[in-house]
Amino acid sequence: MHDMFYLAIIWAGVFLSYFAAHKTKLTPVLYFLAFGSTMVNLGVLPQESTEFIRGFSEIGIILIMFALGFEEDTNNFVRGIKRSWGIALFGALAPFAVAYYVTLYFWQDPRLSLMCGLAMTATAVSLTMVSLKGEGLQNSGAATGIMTSAILDDIASLAAVAILVPLATGDAEVTAAGIALIAGKAVLFFFIILLLELFVFPHSSRLRLYHRIPLLRHFGIRHFIGFSRGEQATLAVLLVALVIALLSYEFGFHPAVGAYMAGLIIKQEYFQLFEEPEHDQYEQTKKIVDNVAFSWIGPVFFVELGTKIVFDQSILLAVVPQIAILTCGILLGQVLSASMAARFTGNYQWHESLLIGFGMLGRAELAFVVMDIGYVQNSIINTEAFYTLMATCFVLNVTVPLSIAAWKPFFEGTKQLRVGAIQLSNGGGKG
């Protein structure tokens, strides 16, 4: 019954977080994190989550990412990748370099610094996208830029973890074969997604193959969704999301990446099952998916994430300078590198570029995985460095919804900001 007791506390916190968010006009994600951290430090929630809560939170992040992908247009995503390579590259190099050299200065241990740099590299895309949704900006071009660059960033970070962690732990050496294997797995995974997008899911297509092999037109996900007149459409798409999430996990990626890709390649046209307007199966399914993702299952992930922030007062006071320098360095390095890359390699406007910079600040899943490897499993990261990283992650995660909410009026053009000859806000009205 302990699991049910903890879930009841978490859901109560989710409800209170929505109430506080409504009163303060801030995104509820901020309150989810704060509630989880408060409860674990008060001893109400355990420091080590139960298997049930961990599993529940993993389902939550899969649902969240699927719901966000479900809203996105595939063509916008592909166009976004072409504009986002620079954001992913420079937006990852800057925080890695800052974390590496700051921790090297304080602790003089290259292996420790390598792990700290890896922990600070990947962006918490789920936190950012939910924060954008809370402000009604999830369908903007900047949001697509954040999503695509963060996915590219996560893929590169996962490859870096696979290559560099064995080096830091002394378990392996970098080899050409190992690097090729990681790159090959990434290419193969997205090739499978492309096959699903082009040949498996569509019930009709302009591709010549569909004319040469008429049998292909008798399949497609539309028939799967339309089973029993679409009554099981939600179950059908969630099953697809879970299967692709598990597939991405087998390829070494976080399941959230697969869930997002599943939502991305399931198109609205696949739900056109009936001619009657009252049978808008897409909108009905989307409403259910959004409800479970953003109201009662998905938020558990953020509360559980907040429970990772366990503070010891004596250690925290001892590492205040390290926390302050690392946090300020990551804030400046991440925002400047991502914003400049968005402006000059992605051709985004300044008001979009700065939103992308703010949106790349969050640190979550991969950061905690690397910290667990370095601190718990291999004792490479010392206690002081671990608390420095945890506190930095906490500040960065809190900064994401606050900075997005603060920048929203400038992004939409209701407020103006100019630095010298550069118009940083949206001068053309609502965007």
Give a yes or no: residue 395 inside a domain: yes
Residue range 111-167, pLDDT digits in tens = 899 989 988 987 877 778 778 888 888 878 888 888 788 777 766 776 677 667 666
The pLDDT tens digits along the chain (431 residues) read 689 999 999 999 999 999 998 887 667 887 898 899 899 999 999 988 899 998 998 899 889 889 878 877 666 667 767 778 888 888 889 999 999 999 999 999 988 999 899 889 878 777 787 788 888 888 788 888 887 887 777 667 766 776 676 666 665 555 677 667 767 887 888 899 888 888 788 876 666 666 666 666 666 788 788 777 778 889 999 999 999 999 988 887 778 778 888 988 898 888 876 555 555 788 889 999 999 998 989 899 889 888 877 877 888 889 999 999 999 999 999 999 999 999 998 888 898 899 999 989 988 666 777 887 788 777 888 989 988 998 898 889 889 888 998 999 888 888 888 877 787 888 754 44
Those residues whose C-beta lies under 8 Å from the C-beta of residue 178, and which sit 6 or more positions away, are 162, 163, 172
Residue 391 lies in a domain: yes
Please name which of 298, 227, 257 lies closest in space to residue 32, comparing C-alpha atoms: 298
Residue 248 lies in a domain: yes
Within a domain: 34: yes
Q: Distance of CA 333 to CAs 30, 341, 362, 386, 430, Å?
A: 22, 12, 13, 21, 28
Average pLDDT, the chain: 83
Rounded-to-integer distance, Cα 307 and Cα 297, Å: 16
Task: Tally the domains of the chain.
Answer: 1
Task: Let me know if residue 184 belongs to a domain.
Answer: yes
* Neighbouring residues of 209: CB distance < 8 A, sequence distance ≥ 6: 199, 216
Answer yes or no: are the C-beta atoms of 392 and 120 closer than 8 Å.
yes
How far is 269 from 282, CA to CA, in rounded Å? 8
Specify if 287 maps to a domain: yes
Instruction: Show the domain range for 59.
Output: 2-423
Q: Is residue 173 part of a domain?
A: yes
Residue type, 137: L
> DSSP secondary-structure letter at 277?
T
| pLDDT, tens digit (0-9, with 9 covering 90-100), for 243-280 | 999 998 888 777 877 888 898 889 888 887 655 555 57
Answer yes or no: is 409 within a domain: yes
- Report in angstroms the alpha-carbon separations of 100 from 110, 123, 152, 316, 339: 8, 16, 21, 20, 21
* CATH number, domain with residue 295: 1.20.1530.20
Element (H, E) at 151: helix 141-169
**In angstroms, what is the C-alpha Rg of the chain?**
22
Residues 6 or more apart in contact with residue 248 via CB below 8 angstroms: 189, 254, 255, 257, 258, 259, 261
193, 182 contact by CB (below 8 A) = no
CA dihedral for 26, 27, 29, 32, sign (positive or negative): positive
Record the pTM. 0.73
